[in-house]
Amino acid sequence: MSQPIRIAISGGGLAGASLIQALLKFPHLDVHIFESATAFKESGMAIGIARNALAALDLIGPSATQCLERAGAVPMRGVRFMLAQGEGRGNLIDEADDKAQGKRITSIVHRANFLQELLADVPEERMHASKKLDKTERTKDGSIIIHFTDGSTHECDILVGADGIHSTVRKLILGKNDPAASPRNTGTWIVMTLQPYARALTSLGEGSVDLADAREYSWIGDGSFILHNLLSDGQLVQFVIASHDKEAESSDKWNRVVKVEEIKKLYKDWPPHLNKAVNELLCDQPEQHGIYLWEHPPASTYVSGPICVIGDAAHATTPWQGSGGGMSIEDSLILSSLLGRVKTSTEAQKALKVYDQVRRPRTQRIVVSSRGTGVIMRGRGEETGLDIGKLREKLLPRWDFIIDFDNEKHLNEAIEILKVELKGEEMT
Ligand SMILES: Cc1cc2nc3c(=O)[nH]c(=O)nc-3n(C[C@H](O)[C@H](O)[C@H](O)COP(=O)(O)OP(=O)(O)OC[C@H]3O[C@@H](n4cnc5c(N)ncnc54)[C@H](O)[C@@H]3O)c2cc1C
């Protein structure tokens, strides 16, 4: 038996956690995960795990799927796109319905709970908090020495950067001066809140939030947007508003103070139950904390020798198609399956090359699609505007290539390419 392959994952978010969860089953891989924060935790609110990502979790294995269930994920019966302003306001634009389609749509889960479950089976000695990757160096024998900001080091054969949108590893791969090394501000801002079910029900009204008929609602207005859905076994409702700030495009702003007056003005002419919900859930204090939506320009590669990036470090996207986390899970499926099939660190580098080859086109297409979808969802699509007929024609099909994706085929293609790369060496 050859030496174990030493894999270090930098970053303990959804991408890093789903990768280590997927790699644990391979005894010949010695995997450690390093997180810069003092603990492995998620600060975000809810996340939708769409059909494609649910399928990827299933392929990673039953334990991955069970993590979602244990975290209290609520499967949505459907997703409804509604018109909030303009002619036909209040009407359904289109919907994806699990019964009509005979397929899962998306499951909404509390981020912290999901992350905790993904990491629950990872042996403690493989999890390292307060370890911020600073730089790396290569030894003569090809190993990587990771230097952390606290002065400590760790030696490995493969480094996976799962260090999010501000990725240090992405910069190591692309070079700091590559324009794609850093993310850009799209100018769109959002304000989010998680509310107890009872409070959201009082504000939004029956029919809009119903655990027995759990649905996600996306409301399209004239330059503004609302989304709401249910999570944590129905105990919580996520409520999100969004609008755009032209001046912030490509600026370095990450946060935005959103004054109540601005919120009230934006949602003044919205359907009464949403106007009421905005007033009650988001206008009880003078200002709200907004965040801008950023994304990565397309990288020329996700890999350099024994180093690669996955998740937001590779392809941070706007959340309009609820796909950033899903892409991380797909990345973990492909990368783990490839690494699980190699026997040496030289072969592992070939696995990384194959990962880049198969994952880059799909993930970069999603980033572009999501940005365009955001324009439509704010009622600013050139072709669609607030025209309910055009929206019906154009909006929902934008998800087809994302969620009706054959992960099994994708995985088999990756394995076939790896076989060729390994020049027909016997596969396990
Ligand atoms: C508002 C919003 C809503 C979204 N909704 C959805 C949705 O419904 N569905 C969906 O699929 N996706 C959604 N996404 C996208 C999704 O949240 C991300 O794609 C996903 O969380 C990325 O996970 P990650 O692990 O790659 O990055 P992160 O979650 O950012 O994790 C990176 C980790 O690396 C650590 N780190 C950073 N630098 C270092 C370093 N130098 N050394 C060590 N550790 C480091 C960080 O502390 C962090 O823990 C949404 C995004 C936003 C902004």
Listed residue (316, 300, 303) closest to 366, CA to CA: 316
Tell me how far the alpha carbon of residue 95 is from its chain's centroid. Answer: 22
For position 206, what pLDDT does the model report? 83
pLDDT at 5 over 90: yes
Residue 425 — very low, low, confident or very high, per pLDDT cuts 50/70/90?
Answer: low
Residue 96: inside a domain: no
Q: Is 132 in the pocket of ligand 1 (CB under 6 A)?
A: yes
What is the count of structural domains for the chain?
A: 1
The DSSP line for 111-126 is HHHHHHHHHTTS-GGG
CA of 86 to the centre of ligand 1 (A): 35
Listed residue (165, 175, 148) closest to 8, CA to CA: 148
CA of 84 to the centre of ligand 1 (A): 30
HSE-up of 330 (CA within 13 Å, CB side)?
Answer: 31
Nearest CA to ligand 1 atom 31: 13
Residue 424 — very low, low, confident or very high, per pLDDT cuts 50/70/90?
Answer: low
Q: Is 182 in the pocket of ligand 1 (CB under 6 A)?
A: no
What's the pLDDT tens digit per position in 223-237? Answer: 999 999 998 888 999
Query: What CATH number is attached to the domain comprising 122?
Result: 3.50.50.60
Residue 211 — very low, low, confident or very high, per pLDDT cuts 50/70/90?
Answer: confident
Residue 131: inside a domain: yes
What's the pLDDT tens digit per position in 134-162? Answer: 999 999 999 999 999 999 999 999 999 99
Which atom of ligand 1 is found nearest the CA of 325? Answer: 11
What's the pLDDT tens digit per position in 315-354? Answer: 999 999 999 999 999 999 999 999 999 999 999 999 999 9
CA of 77 to the centre of ligand 1 (A): 26
List Cβ<8 Å contacts ≥24 apart for 389-398.
391/81, 391/83, 391/93, 391/94, 391/220, 392/93, 392/94, 395/81, 395/93, 395/94, 396/81, 396/94, 396/95, 396/96, 398/321, 398/369, 398/372, 398/373
For position 28, what pLDDT does the model report? 97
What is the average pLDDT value for the chain, to the nearest integer?
95
Residue 392: inside a domain: no
Q: Is 330 in the pocket of ligand 1 (CB under 6 A)?
A: no
Those residues with Cβ within 8 angstroms of residue 217's Cβ, 6 or more apart along the chain or in another chain: 79, 80, 82, 208, 226, 227, 228, 229
Nearest CA to ligand 1 atom 4: 319
Q: What is the DSSP letter of 131?
A: -
CA of 197 to the centre of ligand 1 (A): 26
Dig out the tokens for 243 from the structure: 């609008």
pLDDT at 2 over 80: no
Dig out the tokens for 287 from the structure: 């200002």
For position 208, what pLDDT does the model report? 85
CA of 296 to the centre of ligand 1 (A): 13
Residue 241: inside a domain: no
For position 233, what pLDDT does the model report? 87
CA of 151 to the centre of ligand 1 (A): 25
Residue 39: inside a domain: yes
Which atom of ligand 1 is found nearest the CA of 324? Answer: 19
Residue 155: inside a domain: yes
CA of 13 to the centre of ligand 1 (A): 6
Alpha helices in 33-164 (DSSP H): 51-60, 62-70, 98-101, 111-119
Rounded CA-CA distance 302/74 in Å is 33
Residue 1 — very low, low, confident or very high, per pLDDT cuts 50/70/90?
Answer: low
Q: Is 163 in the pocket of ligand 1 (CB under 6 A)?
A: yes
Which of 35, 43, 57, 302 for a ligand 1 pocket mutation test, highest count of atoms within 8 Å of Cβ?
A: 35
For position 153, what pLDDT does the model report? 98
CA of 98 to the centre of ligand 1 (A): 27
For position 207, what pLDDT does the model report? 81
Q: Is 290 in the pocket of ligand 1 (CB under 6 A)?
A: no
Rounded CA-CA distance 364/384 in Å is 24
pLDDT at 399 over 70: yes
Residue 231: inside a domain: no
Mean pLDDT, range 9-23, rounded to an integer: 98
Which of 328, 399, 403 for a ligand 1 pocket mutation test, highest count of atoms within 8 Å of Cβ?
A: 328
Which atom of ligand 1 is found nearest the CA of 329? Answer: 11
Q: Is the dihedral of CA 137, 154, 13, 51 positive or negative?
A: positive
Bridge partner residues of 290 (DSSP): 256
Find the domain containing 155 and state its range. Answer: 5-76+106-182+298-377+405-421
Residue 426 — very low, low, confident or very high, per pLDDT cuts 50/70/90?
Answer: low
What's the pLDDT tens digit per position in 252-273? Answer: 999 999 999 999 999 999 999 9
Residue 126: inside a domain: yes
CA of 413 to the centre of ligand 1 (A): 27
